[in-house]
Structure formats: structure tokens, C-alpha cells
Amino acid sequence: MMSDAAASSGAEVTLRNATEADAEFLYHVYASTRAAELAMTGWSDEQKEQFCRMQFRAQTTDYLANYPNAQRSIIERSGTPVGRLIVDRVEREISIIDIALLPEGRGQGIGTGLLRELTEEARAAGKPLSIYVEKFNPALRLYLRLGFRAMEDKGVYLRMEWQA
């Protein structure tokens, strides 16, 4: 698996199954997605850490309970972990449960390449590809550019869908 930008730079982007040994890395990916939001709180670093750990545990528990058969992957660039991807493939659709990259992996085409591969998988399977996106998430522009459409407003989140 290789994204367009990564391919042009010579960096190989691959997925591998996440394991228990990846727990701390996965926490850091999660915390990196909350950093800008938490910077506005005025909390101490310790308070931010406690909050992120609590939220990460809750999210992990929720994902395992609600998507027990989802594929949980570590995104690697040239063998170095840079993010996570959780995809649930069910009879009626393919759902991106979570895709997140560390700051140093963002803006390099990695996510775009992975999303294009997932849209191709959905096209081949004749299924829609869905994702929930926070309305203030900068990646929302990427999803729109790739042809995802907002299907449902869930308050803070939009349920977006790509269809062939």
C-alpha cells in the first residue's frame, strides 16, 4: 500500500495489524489529535495528559465494543509508525472508524492515498464508504475533495459517505 505523495517521495506507506505492544503509540496518536483543542483550556500538562488518557481508554473501549471485527492497523511510512487506521467492513458498507496521523505525518499525502485505496475497495465491492468527521476537523476539506458527501448532521459530527 502506497499513497501518491509517499510514492513520489520514495517513502513506502504500509499497514500492519495493531497489537497490544502498540498501545502507547496509539495513545500518542490520539493525544496529538486533541492537542490544539486542549491548548485552549488553560489546563496544566498533567491535567491534559490525565484527560487524554481517560478519553483514549473510553474511545478504545467503545471501539472494541461496537466494532469488534474491525481491522485495526498501524500506518507506517518507511517502517516508522505514523498513524492508525480502523476500518469496519460489514455487509452493507465499509466504515472508516478512525484514521489519524501524528503531526509529522500530516500534509504529505499519506491520508489521501489511504482514503483513495479505501474508495477503490468500496467501488470494487459495490458498497458505500462512510466516516464520521468533526465539523471543525481540517480533514473535512480532504473528504469533500475526495468526493465524500455529508449525509447526516449529528451535532458535532457529520456522517459522510463516498459512493461510486
CATH number, residue 91: 3.40.630.30
pLDDT for residue 63:
97
Q: How many domains does the chain have?
A: 1
Q: What is the DSSP letter of 20?
A: G
Q: How far apart are CA 101 and CA 82, in angstroms?
A: 6
Digit-coded pLDDT (tens) for 27-81: 999 999 999 889 999 999 999 999 999 999 999 999 999 999 999 999 999 999 9
**DSSP code string of 84-137:** EEEEEE-SS-EEEEEEEE-GGGTTSSHHHHHHHHHHHHHHHHT--EEEEEETT-
Digit-coded pLDDT (tens) for 83-127: 999 999 999 999 999 999 999 999 999 999 999 999 999 999 999
Element containing residue 82 per DSSP (H, E): strand 80-89
Q: Which domain holds residue 122?
A: 4-162
Whether the per-residue pLDDT at 3 is higher than 60: the answer is: no
CB burial readout 58-76, b (16+ within 10 A) else e = eeeeebeeebeebebbbbb
pLDDT for residue 10:
57
pTM of this structure: 0.90
Contacts of 100 (CB under 8 A, 6+ apart): 29, 30, 32, 33, 83, 84
Please state whether beta strands 94-101 and 157-162 pair in parallel, antiparallel, or not at all (unpaired): unpaired
Q: How far apart are CA 44 and CA 82, in angstroms?
A: 26
